[in-house]
Amino acid sequence: MVGRQGIAGLSHRSVAAEADVPLGSTTYHFATLDDLLVAALRQAEEGFAKAVATRGGLTDPHTDLATELAGLMGEWLAGDRTGVELEYELYLAALRRPALRPVAAEWAEELAALLSHHTDPLTARALVALMDGICLQVLLTDTPYDEDYAREVLARVIPPGPSARPCPKRPRQGPPGSDA
């Protein structure tokens, strides 16, 4: 429902109507609008997680990481565009809705942890940020996804050779301006 009407169209009443259940059913399971948004974001995030699991290349330690990530983004962006747009709409809604921030952060942290099996943690976080940027540009400019471009840019961030292996853990540093 949020995919069709956006976050502005989300209410207990609209969800109850969509699900064809009494209004009390939605308010029983989701006490607040933020609870509904958290559930919607978790469901939307499953789309990318499913794409990662289906491809399976990130579990292979010998995979060409730039090629795998570029292909993964290509598959995801070629799929249900409404789902991709919804995920980013909910992801960015966390800017104004603090209840969504932990859920939005989970996605980035889980992907960075998975990428840390192929490179150091700092590079893994940079790759997640770069992937987000590429996807947002495709969605916002309505330009076709260019897998060759994505592969080239990702490869520029990934250290070559043996140094691409995980380095000793450093204290976690969050994005600029955060307390992490």
Instruction: Convert the pLDDT of each residue in 79-125 to its tens digit.
Output: 777 778 888 888 888 888 898 899 888 888 988 998 998 999 999 99
Q: For residue 50, tell me if it sits in a domain.
A: yes
Q: For residue 26, tell me if it sits in a domain.
A: no
Total structural domains within the chain:
1
45-90 per-position pLDDT tens digit: 777 777 788 887 888 888 899 999 999 999 888 877 777 888 888 8
What is the value of pTM for the model shown? 0.75
CATH number reported for the structural domain that contains residue 137 in this entry: 1.10.357.10
Q: For residue 11, tell me if it sits in a domain.
A: no
Dist. CA 62–CA 47, nearest whole Å: 25
Rg from Cα positions in the chain: 18
Q: For residue 3, tell me if it sits in a domain.
A: no
Sequence-separated (6 or more) residues with CB below 8 Å from residue 88? 135, 136, 139
DSSP single-letter state for residue 108: H
Dist. CA 81–CA 140, nearest whole Å: 12
Dist. CA 25–CA 16, nearest whole Å: 7
8 Å CB contact between 20 and 34: no
Q: What is the mean pLDDT of residues 121-130?
A: 96
Dist. CA 44–CA 90, nearest whole Å: 8
Q: For residue 17, tell me if it sits in a domain.
A: no
Q: For residue 147, tell me if it sits in a domain.
A: yes
- Residue 153's domain spans which residues? 34-164
135-177 per-position pLDDT tens digit: 999 999 988 999 999 999 999 999 986 444 444 444 445 444 4
- CA neighbours closer than 13 Å in the CB half-sphere of residue 87: 22
